[in-house]
């Protein structure tokens, strides 16, 4: 089966991105035919600086590769290198009810966060549907809170099929079951928007600075603590070996856990976990032509499927 995943180039990738999406996306290439893209068209709703867009686009591509995506087994490409997807967006928009877009929660959330209420933001779900449908995707890996994106895509495809005949395969959401909730350094959800991240592709000193800034309470070292309500423990648990995790949990419950030592150990674990990925990322950064060649090859392979799907849709609409 074919699985499709995309990530917006909207800043430094952090461990919340990794455990919430990237780790699962890359693991799927062992089970499915993977299509992975950098959603730079989508990022235009928030990023208006061309130099920043180019830098962040390459950052996401390098991150995919450094973290284990194999371009020999999967397809990695830029959304903007597939012109067919924008044409399909228009064909889909011609049958998409306004009411369907008005019910999409992503638009309301973005506007509430202060993002400009532009037309592109409003029709964002149509472009997203085109991304999914144009490659005849079977499954789309999403968290439970993103399931609506796939449901809206299915609604658009069904409406188009009802109007013009059977053109599109209806994809299924692939709910990521084992997604870890990653707290930010302030205890809230980790997000670039909140400035509370622990970034992946930074030097060890930056990792140390970010982790040492994790908010903890003033409970004395010798006092018992609830590990599940401790920000640093909930980050530590993502990286610690099972035996160390259990021993540390016991130390919390009986007393003796020191937040400073927990932070230092977490720094070491994070640096160990991403050491190979950071080395590969540095190699790719030193050879940007390698990255661009992988993206060009991926786009050429992805366009084979995109052209075939668009041709079906054009013929169904009477575009001659």
The one catalytic residue among 23, 159, 169, 192? 192
Long-range CB pairs of 258-261, under 8 A, 24+ apart, other chains included: 258/221, 259/216, 259/232
Whether 110 sits among the annotated catalytic residues: the reply is yes
Instruction: Using DSSP, state whether 110 is helix, strand or coil.
Output: helix
Whether 23 sits among the annotated catalytic residues: the reply is no
H-type alpha helices, 146-212: 147-164, 204-212
The one catalytic residue among 62, 110, 225, 263? 110
Distance CA 31, CA 3 (A): 9
Q: Cβ distance 4 to 132 under 8 Å?
A: yes
Structure tokens that stand for 83 in this block: 């012109």
Distance CA 252, CA 222 (A): 9
Query: What is the widest separation between alpha-carbon atoms in the chain?
Result: 77
Whether 192 sits among the annotated catalytic residues: the reply is yes
The one catalytic residue among 23, 169, 189, 264? 189
252-284 burial: b if 16+ Cβ within 10 Å, else e: beeeebebeebbebbbebbbeebeebbebbeeb
Instruction: Please give the positions annotated as active site.
Output: 110, 189, 192
């Amino acid at each position: 089966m074919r699985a499709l995943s995309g990530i917006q180039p909207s800043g430094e990738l952090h461990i919340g991105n990794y455990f919430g999406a990237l780790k699962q996306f890359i693991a799927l290439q062992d089970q499915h035919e993977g299509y992975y893209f950098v959603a730079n068209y989508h990022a235009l709703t928030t990023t208006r600086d061309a130099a920043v867009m180019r830098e962040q686009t390459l950052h996401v591509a390098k991150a995919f590769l450094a973290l284990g995506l194999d371009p020999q087994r999967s397809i990695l490409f830029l959304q903007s290198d597939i012109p067919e997807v924008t044409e399909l967006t228009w064909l889909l928009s011609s049958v998409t009810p306004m009411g369907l877009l008005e019910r999409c929660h992503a638009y309301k959330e973005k506007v509430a966060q202060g993002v400009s209420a532009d037309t592109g933001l409003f029709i964002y779900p149509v472009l997203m549907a085109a991304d999914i449908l144009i490659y005849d995707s079977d499954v789309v890996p999403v968290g439970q809170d993103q399931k609506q994106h796939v449901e809206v895509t299915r609604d658009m495809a069904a409406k188009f099929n009802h109007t013009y005949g059977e053109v599109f395969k209806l994809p299924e959401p692939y709910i990521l079951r084992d997604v870890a909730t990653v707290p930010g350094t302030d205890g809230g959800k980790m997000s670039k928007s909140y400035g509370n991240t622990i970034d992946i592709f930074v030097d060890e000193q930056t990792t140390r600075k970010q982790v040492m800034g994790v908010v903890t309470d003033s409970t004395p070292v010798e006092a018992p603590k609830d590990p599940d309500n401790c920000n640093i423990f909930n980050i530590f648990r993502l990286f610690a070996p099972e035996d160390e995790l259990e021993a540390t949990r016991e130390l919390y419950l009986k007393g003796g856990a020191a937040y400073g030592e927990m932070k230092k150990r977490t720094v070491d674990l994070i640096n160990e976990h991403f050491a190979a990925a950071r080395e590969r990322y540095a190699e790719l950064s030193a050879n940007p032509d390698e990255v661009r060649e992988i993206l060009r090859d991926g786009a050429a392979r992805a366009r084979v499927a995109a052209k075939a799907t668009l041709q079906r849709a054009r013929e169904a609409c009477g575009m001659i």
